[in-house]
């Protein structure tokens, strides 16, 4: 298993990501890791914090001469906006945030103690960990990319995209949407919401190509690949629903319309699919088709025109606290989801093909793929 933990508060000294289980022999590309962090900070509708920070990860353990050595990889991301000790107490929790539930859980009278960790700032550390996972997956020919499919009421034109199409079209869009017409409408929607002191949610799709069949398991619930992916993406702040492939749409379709017909390519010796409604996963196992995960993000909880709340000290009605926040962060959320998907896929690879070194993994993987062709 590839395990990771993060530490750090939004306005603390910094964030730390610890990734345990990284095989030895992987060349860590710091420019790529920092490029992933920069992608997370972009997107139309982001708040003022993005103009302050310039995230860069410093690798402080787990490598020598730029190559992993089999011990935990730790990365430090410094916060330029370090001021946690001087920030004012927050007594009026925000609806939709962890503020009140966290205060009740820990017995706090100040929501600051909750929101500093519950903040989506933590996801920068996840992206750093996910970048290492992406580097590992690329060693085995697997690529992961994501794009935005909806912001507010604006939806992109339907149709699954390949990783190449996503990188060609979505990555050049400041809302990370491949549909240019929809992208312009999304920006207008964001502008309207910002002017009204409101916020917007949306949806995104993550695609992983080159994933072989057989990752995950049908034997135990906690080994199912779709379960692992759903939990990872659902754990991202503000994500409220996850769909594997056409999961949500399939609930209203007939079985004959849902399941992906099986074929066989004699030239390549591989099984094929006429469609991919399953999102590359059947019975908890990857089936060789692209893995497709869709996430649905609620609007951000901090509003310019705050909702009703209560002062926790007096119990009297009050307006919810207002913190610096984004109007829409769906493009950034898609980047975090890419990282989350990459970590889970890399973990499943280690579970099946070995974890001591990348050489061992590659030998086992190549032998497995050859065996599949012989069947």
Q: What is the pLDDT of residues 189-198, one digit of tens each?
A: 999 999 999 9
Q: Kindly report, residue by residue over 22-60, the tens digit of the pLDDT.
A: 999 999 999 999 999 999 998 888 766 556 668 999 999
- Range(s) of the domain holding residue 324: 91-374
> Angle of helix 358-374 relative to helix 330-353, nearest 10 degrees?
80
* pLDDT in the model for residue 52: 63
Per-residue pLDDT, averaged over 223-232, amounts to: 97
3-state SS track over the chain: CCEEEEECCCCCCEEEEEEECCCECCECCHHHHHHHHHHHCCCCCCCCHHHHCCCCEEEEECEECCEECCCCEEEEEECCCCCCCCCCCCCCCCCCCCHHHHHHHHCCCCCHHHHHHHCHHHHHHHHHHHHHHHHHHHCCCCEEEEEEEEECCEECCCCCCCHHHHHHHHHHCCCCCCCHHHHHHHHHHHHHHHHCCCCCCEEEEEEEECCCCCCECCCCHHHCHHHHHHHHHHCCCCEEEEEECCHHHHCCCCHHHHCCCEEEECCCCEEEECCCCCCCEECCEECCCCEEEEEEECCCCCCCCCCEEECCCCCCEEECCCCCCCCCCHHHHHHHHHHHHHHHHHHHHHHHHCCCEHHHHHHHHHHHHHHHHHC
Backbone φ and ψ for 56, nearest 5 degrees, come out as -140, 135
User: At 363, which CATH number?
Assistant: 3.60.150.10
pLDDT of 111 over the 90 cut: yes
Domains of the chain: total: 1
Decide: 166 and 145 in contact? Cβ < 8 Å.
Answer: yes
Q: Kindly report, residue by residue over 315-332, the tens digit of the pLDDT.
A: 999 999 988 779 999 999
Look at residue 293 and tell me if it is in a domain: yes
Look at residue 275 and tell me if it is in a domain: yes
* pLDDT in the model for residue 142: 97
Look at residue 84 and tell me if it is in a domain: no
Look at residue 46 and tell me if it is in a domain: no
Per-residue pLDDT, averaged over 327-352, amounts to: 97
* pLDDT in the model for residue 126: 98
Look at residue 64 and tell me if it is in a domain: no
pLDDT of 71 over the 80 cut: yes
Classify each residue of 196-232 as buried b or exposed e, where b means 16 or more C-beta atoms within 10 Å of its C-beta: eebbbbbbbbbbbbbbbbebbbeeeeeebbbbbbbeb
pLDDT of 176 over the 90 cut: yes
Decide: 58 and 34 in contact? Cβ < 8 Å.
Answer: no
How does the average pLDDT of the chain come out, rounded? 94
Decide: 346 and 141 in contact? Cβ < 8 Å.
Answer: no
Q: Kindly report, residue by residue over 239-290, the tens digit of the pLDDT.
A: 999 999 999 999 999 999 999 999 998 888 888 999 999 999 999 999 999 9
Q: How many Cα atoms sit within 13 Å of 304 on the Cβ side?
A: 13
Q: What percent of the chain has pLDDT over 90?
A: 88
Look at residue 182 and tell me if it is in a domain: yes
Per-residue pLDDT, averaged over 302-309, amounts to: 93
Burial class (CB in 10 A: 0-12, 13-18, 19+), 371: exposed
Q: Is the dihedral of CA 87, 88, 91, 96 positive or negative?
A: negative
Q: What percent of the chain has pLDDT over 70?
A: 98
Look at residue 18 and tell me if it is in a domain: no
Look at residue 74 and tell me if it is in a domain: no
Weakest mean pLDDT among 29-38, 151-160, 204-213: 151-160
């Amino acid at each position: 298993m590839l395990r990771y933990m993060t530490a750090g508060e939004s306005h603390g000294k910094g964030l730390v990501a610890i990734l345990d289980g990284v095989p030895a022999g992987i060349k860590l590309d710091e420019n790529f890791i920092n490029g992933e962090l920069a992608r997370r900070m972009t997107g139309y509708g982001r708040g003022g914090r993005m103009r302050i920070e310039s995230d860069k990860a410093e690798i402080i353990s787990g490598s020598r001469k730029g190559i992993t050595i089999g011990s935990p990889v730790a990365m430090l991301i410094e916060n330029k906006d370090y001021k946690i000790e001087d920030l004012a107490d927050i007594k009026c929790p925000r609806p939709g945030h962890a503020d009140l539930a966290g205060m009740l859980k820990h017995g706090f009278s100040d929501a600051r103690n909750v929101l500093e960790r519950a903040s989506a700032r933590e996801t920068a550390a996840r992206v750093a960990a996910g970048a290492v996972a992406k580097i590992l997956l690329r060693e085995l020919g697997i690529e992961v990319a994501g794009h935005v499919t909806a912001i507010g009421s604006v939806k992109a034109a339907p149709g699954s995209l390949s990783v190449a199409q996503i990188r060609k079209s979505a990555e050049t869009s400041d809302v990370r949407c491949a549909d240019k017409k929809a992208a312009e409408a999304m920006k207008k929607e964001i502008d309207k919401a910002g002017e009204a002191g409101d916020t917007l949610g949306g949806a995104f799709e993550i695609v992983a190509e080159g994933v072989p069949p057989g990752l995950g398991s049908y034997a135990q619930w906690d080994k199912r690949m779709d379960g692992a992916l759903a939990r990872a993406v659902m754990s991202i702040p503000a994500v409220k629903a996850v769909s594997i492939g056409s999961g949500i749409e399939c609930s209203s379709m007939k079985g004959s319309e849902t399941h992906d017909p099986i074929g066989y390519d004699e030239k390549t010796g591989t099984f094929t699919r006429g469609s991919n409604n399953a999102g590359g996963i059947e019975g908890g196992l990857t089936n060789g088709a692209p893995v497709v995960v869709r996430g649905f993000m609620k609007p951000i909880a901090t509003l310019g025109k705050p909702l009703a709340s209560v002062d926790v000290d007096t119990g009297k009605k009050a307006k919810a606290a207002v913190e610096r926040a984004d109007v829409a962060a769906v493009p950034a959320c898609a980047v975090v989801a890419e990282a989350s998907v990459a970590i889970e896929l890399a973990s499943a690879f280690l579970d099946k093909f070995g974890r001591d070194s990348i050489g061992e993994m590659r030998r086992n993987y190549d032998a497995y793929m050859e065996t599949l062709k012989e069947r």
